[in-house]
């Protein structure tokens, strides 16, 4: 097997099952890698060495005792996006307002990870409350792209994508409200899935926009992503929008990697103008490889996708402004007293706390959302955006009559430079043109590496979209493409990434 930090989660699970390696060794190898490279990448907001090693020891002991109930993934470590509550471990959502908050309960996703016996290495960085496409909006400083440390690793889940691309964890969790799993995967040469809305529990995810938020798996291979999807997914009575149905057969689909006879729809509105030449080129080549593997291609027309971004940036701030009202200086996180007021009122404390605790992007969206929801404007903005959302869902329904899956580039460009778009919210928002329609319609989507753009040598991603609860199709197509591309590259794309500066212990 490769060095432990280079191995896939599937390889680690096999080796652990055969007792060729212990979970303590696997966890320690990752802790050593974190100590050596995280100074350069800044993927983690919190590392829990003790907790991870304790879980690893418990799994190793159970395995030594011949415990036959061990989960296949028992002992394989994981990193958790810091927007998911973890009992006893800090959860900041990348925000100063939650600095020091230690939740008294686990999110369902984390409870499932713990129940599977997977050691949690730590919590990964993100844009504050998952608002952003670069991690530059984190209250704790940006993460860096392992392919080029001057560039962004995507967002909001840039901590999770960079953790994978720098071999600081074989698996990570993400949340995707408008693309925060898929776009970071695309710009770092990793894989990420946004499951069908309701396919993975939202209980214990600190909400951004409840009707769009979806937790999902992130990994370096399609099979690993499926293995984690199977751990995280499934019905949860604690989430009122959870789907009461079995998890689609994602692992089997990833193993078979079969696209014979599949109809692949290329979305006309999500290619061409506005997409970087090298991104488009790698996308076209990937589609040709899928045809070689036995699929057929059709072009599909989704005219209302043009309005997706506008609708999203009304619906998301509206929901976010009400979800974030709970950060009132009374219940969670920090409390800041206003300067120069002797006996401040609750409102004055709240205002001072929210002013100090929230960053600019969060404030921008709260103001936008409050405005869009105010009486007199509600119908013109929020109501209208909901109608557009319906039209987008109808575009998808029509497209899926002629195609089994839809594809597009995941993001219009490769990773941009840190600082490049920070002062231009519109430019930042445009990163999500291709990913947002799936969130508006509640559909599953995946990003798989499609190669390096010739002009800058940086990773590009191909997005796959499927009908609700047909998440397994993403894995079939993703795995078929990965197989063809790995054969072409002679190994994983990340093998071509530059070495990171190491801090030796
Ligand atoms: N970049 C998008 C935004 O800023 C997506 C965020 C997300 O998926 N959490 O809203």
Instruction: Give CA 75 to chain center in angstroms.
Output: 22
CB–CB of 15/3 below 8 Å?
Answer: no
Selection from 257, 290, 284 nearest residue 272 by Cα: 284
Is the pTM above the cut of 0.95? yes
**Does any domain span residue 251?**
yes
Per-residue pLDDT of the chain (505 residues; tens, 9 = 90+): 459 999 999 999 999 999 999 999 999 999 999 999 999 999 999 999 999 999 999 999 999 999 889 999 999 999 999 999 999 999 999 999 999 999 999 999 999 999 999 999 999 999 999 999 999 999 999 999 999 999 999 999 999 999 999 999 999 999 999 999 999 999 999 999 999 999 999 999 999 999 999 999 999 999 999 999 999 999 999 999 999 999 999 999 999 999 999 999 999 999 988 999 999 999 999 999 999 999 999 999 999 999 999 999 999 999 999 999 999 999 888 999 999 999 999 999 999 999 999 999 999 999 999 999 998 888 899 999 999 999 999 999 999 999 999 999 999 999 999 999 999 999 999 999 999 999 999 999 999 999 999 999 999 999 999 999 999 999 999 999 999 999 999 999 999 999 999 997 7
CATH number at residue 421: 3.90.1300.10
Does ligand 1 lie within 6 Å of residue 125's CB atom?
A: no
**Does any domain span residue 338?**
no
Domain count, the chain: 1
Is residue 4 reached through a cis peptide bond, with omega within 30 degrees of 0 on the bond before it?
no
**Does any domain span residue 459?**
yes
What residue's CA is closest to ligand 1, atom 4? 132
Q: Coil, helix or strand for 194?
A: strand
Residues pairing with 409 in the sheet? 462
Cα of 390 vs centre of ligand 1, distance in Å, is 20
Does ligand 1 lie within 6 Å of residue 178's CB atom?
A: yes
Atom of ligand 1 nearest to the CA of 431: 1
What residue's CA is closest to ligand 1, atom 10? 131
C-alpha distances (whole Å) from 437 to each of 158, 293, 407, 409, 475 are 21, 27, 12, 13, 19
**Does any domain span residue 341?**
no
**Does any domain span residue 3?**
no
Distance of alpha carbon 200 from alpha carbon 198, whole angstroms: 6
Q: Coil, helix or strand for 86?
A: strand
**Does any domain span residue 328?**
no
Q: Which two tokens stand for residue 6?
A: 């280079």
Domain that holds residue 257: 8-62+72-305+390-494
Cα of 503 vs centre of ligand 1, distance in Å, is 33
- Helices and strands in the chain: count of H runs, count of E runs: 16, 11
Cα of 428 vs centre of ligand 1, distance in Å, is 10
Which parts of 116-156 fold into alpha helices (H)? Answer: none
**Does any domain span residue 377?**
no
Evaluate the CA torsion angle 12, 286, 478, 173 in order and state its sign. positive
Backbone angles phi, psi at 212, to 5 degrees: -120, -30
What pLDDT digit, counting tens, does each position of 60-72 carry?
Answer: 999 999 988 999 9
Does ligand 1 lie within 6 Å of residue 316's CB atom?
A: yes
Cα of 324 vs centre of ligand 1, distance in Å, is 15
Q: Which two tokens stand for residue 62?
A: 């159970």
What pLDDT digit, counting tens, does each position of 412-470 carry?
Answer: 999 999 999 999 999 999 999 999 999 999 999 999 999 999 999 999 999 999 999 99
CB–CB of 494/277 below 8 Å?
Answer: no
**Does any domain span residue 280?**
yes
Does ligand 1 lie within 6 Å of residue 162's CB atom?
A: no
CB–CB of 162/153 below 8 Å?
Answer: yes
């Amino acid at each position: 097997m490769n060095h432990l930090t280079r191995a896939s989660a599937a390889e680690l699970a096999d080796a652990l099952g055969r007792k060729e390696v212990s979970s303590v060794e696997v966890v320690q190898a990752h802790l050593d890698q974190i100590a050596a490279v995280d100074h350069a990448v800044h993927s983690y907001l919190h590392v829990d060495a003790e907790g991870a090693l304790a879980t690893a020891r418990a799994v190793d002991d159970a395995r030594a005792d011949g415990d036959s109930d061990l989960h296949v993934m028992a002992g394989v470590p994981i990193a958790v996006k810091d927007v998911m509550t973890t009992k006893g471990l800090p959860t900041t959502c990348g925000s100063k307002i939650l600095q020091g908050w230690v939740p008294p309960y686990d999110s369902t996703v984390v409870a499932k990870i713990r129940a599977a016996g997977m050691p949690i290495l730590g919590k990964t960085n993100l844009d504050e409350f998952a608002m952003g496409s670069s991690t530059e909006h984190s209250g704790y400083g940006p993460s860096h792209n392992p392919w080029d440390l001057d560039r962004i690793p995507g967002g909001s889940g840039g901590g999770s994508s960079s953790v994978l691309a720098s071999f600081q964890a074989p698996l990570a969790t993400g949340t995707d409200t408008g693309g925060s799993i898929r776009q970071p995967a695309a710009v770092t040469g990793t894989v990420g899935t946004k499951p069908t809305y309701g396919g993975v529990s939202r209980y214990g995810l600190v909400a951004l926009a409840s009707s769009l938020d979806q937790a999902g798996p992130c990994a370096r291979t399609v099979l690993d992503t499926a293995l984690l999807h199977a751990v995280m997914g499934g019905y949860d009575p604690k989430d009122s929008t959870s789907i009461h149905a079995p998890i689609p057969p994602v692992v089997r689909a990833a193993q078979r990697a079969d696209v014979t006879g599949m109809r692949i729809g290329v979305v006309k509105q999500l290619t061409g103008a506005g997409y970087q030449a090298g991104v488009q080129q790698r996308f076209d080549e990937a589609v040709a490889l899928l045809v070689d593997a036995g699929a057929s291609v059709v072009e599909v027309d989704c005219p209302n996708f043009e309005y997706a971004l506008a609708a999203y940036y009304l619906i998301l701030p509206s929901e976010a402004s009400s979800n974030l009202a709970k950060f009132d200086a009374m219940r969670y996180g920090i409390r800041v007293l206003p300067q120069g007021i002797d006996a401040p009122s609750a409102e004055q404390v709240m205002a001072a706390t929210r002013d100090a605790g929230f960053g600019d992007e969060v404030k921008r969206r709260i103001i936008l959302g409050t405005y869009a929801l105010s009486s007199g404007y509600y119908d013109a903005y929020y109501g209208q955006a909901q109608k557009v959302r319906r039209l987008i869902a109808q575009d998808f329904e029509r497209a899926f009559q002629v195609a089994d899956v839809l594809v597009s580039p995941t993001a219009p460009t490769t990773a941009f430079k840190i600082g490049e778009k920070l002062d231009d919210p519109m430019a930042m928002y445009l990163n999500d043109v291709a990913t947002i329609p799936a969130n508006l319609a509640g559909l599953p989507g995946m990003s798989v590496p499609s190669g390096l753009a010739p002009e800058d040598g940086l990773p590009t991603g191909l997005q796959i979209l499927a009908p609700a609860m047909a998440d397994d199709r993403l894995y079939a197509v993703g795995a078929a493409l990965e197989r063809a591309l790995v054969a072409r590259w002679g190994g994983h794309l990340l093998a071509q990434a530059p070495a990171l500066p190491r801090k030796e212990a």
